[in-house]
Structure 1
Amino acid sequence: MSRTAEWKVRLYLFEEEHTTKARLELDTGTNRLTGHGTARCAPQDNDVPEIGDELAVARAMEDLALQMKQAAYGDIRAAGVRSLQESLKPYTGWLDTEA
């Protein structure tokens, strides 16, 4: 079976008073999810906006990835898989099995 899909992603960054916030929106065509991330510059640190951007975006990606994984597990359960053990481990494949 061959299939092609296009998912749209939008990233928004906001900075105010040493705090950077990221909002990452994913539109799959059938589902919309939004990840959020925040980074704060410590008072003793130099204010380097690029670092705040990187951290806030990374955290928004982690949030979105967790939501995607939860959605996938929900879809797997809806497909009738009964003994699925959910895992937050990264890169574990579609089904998490004990070795």
Structure 2
Amino acid sequence: MTHTWNVVIHLFDADDLVRDGRLTGAHAVLTTSAGTSLEGYGRARRNPEDAAVPEIGEELAAARALRELADRLLRATSDDIAEIEHRPVHLQR
């Protein structure tokens, strides 16, 4: 049996958050085949001295959102195991 989980990453310019338009945001959403959903957020701020290359900000913001999503998934997994084992569980990265 195969299960499919989907991750969607929404990228956005967060220009309204800073006056000089150097902030990119990312929102990663994982949806499991059972319908469970987890989210992660990330952002990237361009140094004003650097060239404006939007793809780099998007990559960094997406990577940070995925990292947060992965950490949340690990916490959810250890909570699920702890509930079954009736003891604290700490999973390593």
Tell me the TM-score normalised to structure 2 length: 0.83
Task: Report the Cα offset of residue 83 of structure 1.
Answer: 5.4
Q: Which runs of 5+ in 1 are unaligned?
A: 91-99
Q: Secondary structure at the match of 1:46?
A: coil
Secondary structure of 2:51 counterpart? coil
Q: Distance in 2 between matches of 1:75 and 1:32?
A: 15
The aligned counterpart of 1:22 is 26
Question: Equivalent residue for 2:40?
Answer: 35
From 3, 6, 10, the counterpart of 1:5: 3
Which one has the bigger helix percentage? 2
For structure 2, the 5+ residue unaligned runs are 16-20
Judging changes above 3 Å, is the alpha-carbon distance between structure 1 residues 67 and 83 closer, same or farther for their aligned structure 2 residues? closer
Q: CA deviation at 1:82?
A: 2.4
Q: Which moved more, 1:71-80 or 1:7-16?
A: 7-16
Letter in 1 for 2:9: L
* Counterpart AA for 1:37: G
The structure 1 segments of at least 4 consecutive aligned residues displaced by more than 2 Å after TM superposition are 81-84
Q: How many residues align?
A: 86
State which of 68, 71, 74 in structure 2 corresponds to 1:69.
74
